C-alpha cells in the first residue's frame, strides 16, 4: 500500500470517528459510563469523589439542577468550587458525544434509584 493511501485511510477513519458515530444518548448508558463514578452505581453518592447522592431527589429537582449544570439556567451564578467542576464535566461530556437530556436523565435516576418511585 502506498503511503498516500495509508494516510488517506487514517484520515478517513479519523473523520468517520468524529462524525457523530460515537454519539450516545441512552441516559442509562451515559449514567453508568460517566456519572456513576462520582455519584455511585445506584446514585447513592460517592464521598471519595465528593459526588452527592441523587437517589432521594424528585424528577423536578434533578431536572432543574441538570439544566443549571448545563448552563441553561443561572440559579447558581458562581463559577468556583465543586459546582464549577460539575459544570465543566457536563460540557466535556457533550464534546465526547454524550448527550445528556435533563428530563430523561432525571426520570431514569428517579425510577431506577429513588425508593419513593416504587410507591407510585
Interface residue list for ligand HEC (CB under 6 A): 30, 34-35, 37-39, 49-52, 54, 62, 65-66, 82-83, 86, 89, 93, 100, 105
Whichever of 83 and 107 has its CB closer to ligand HEC, that residue is 83
Whichever of 13 and 29 has its CB closer to ligand HEC, that residue is 29
Q: Cβ–Cβ contacts within 10 Å for residue 17, how many?
A: 10
Q: How far is the CB of 90 from ligand HEC (least distance, A)?
A: 6
Burial of 26 (0-12, 13-18, 19+ CB in 10 A): middle
Q: State how far Cα 111 lies from the chain centre.
A: 17
Q: How far is the CB of 118 from ligand HEC (least distance, A)?
A: 20
Picking from 29, 50, 41, the residue whose alpha carbon sits closest to that of residue 93 is 29
Q: How far is the CB of 9 from ligand HEC (least distance, A)?
A: 34
Q: How far is the CB of 103 from ligand HEC (least distance, A)?
A: 12
B/e letters for 72-108, b = 16+ CB within 10 Å, e = fewer, are eeeeeeeeeeeeeebbeebeebeeeebebebebbbbb
Whichever of 5 and 78 has its CB closer to ligand HEC, that residue is 78
Whichever of 14 and 71 has its CB closer to ligand HEC, that residue is 71
Amino acid at each position: 500500500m502506498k503511503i498516500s493511501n495509508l494516510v488517506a485511510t487514517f484520515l478517513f477513519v479519523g473523520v468517520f470517528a468524529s462524525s457523530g458515530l460515537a454519539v450516545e444518548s441512552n441516559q442509562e448508558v451515559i449514567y453508568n459510563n460517566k456519572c456513576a463514578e462520582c455519584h455511585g452505581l445506584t446514585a447513592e453518592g460517592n464521598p471519595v469523589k465528593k459526588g452527592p447522592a441523587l437517589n432521594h431527589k424528585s424528577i423536578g429537582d434533578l431536572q432543574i439542577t441538570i439544566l443549571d449544570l448545563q448552563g441553561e439556567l443561572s440559579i447558581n451564578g458562581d463559577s468556583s468550587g465543586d459546582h464549577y467542576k460539575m459544570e465543566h464535566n457536563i460540557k466535556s461530556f457533550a464534546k465526547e458525544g454524550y448527550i445528556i437530556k435533563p428530563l430523561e436523565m432525571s426520570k431514569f435516576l428517579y425510577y431506577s434509584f429513588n425508593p419513593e418511585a416504587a410507591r407510585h
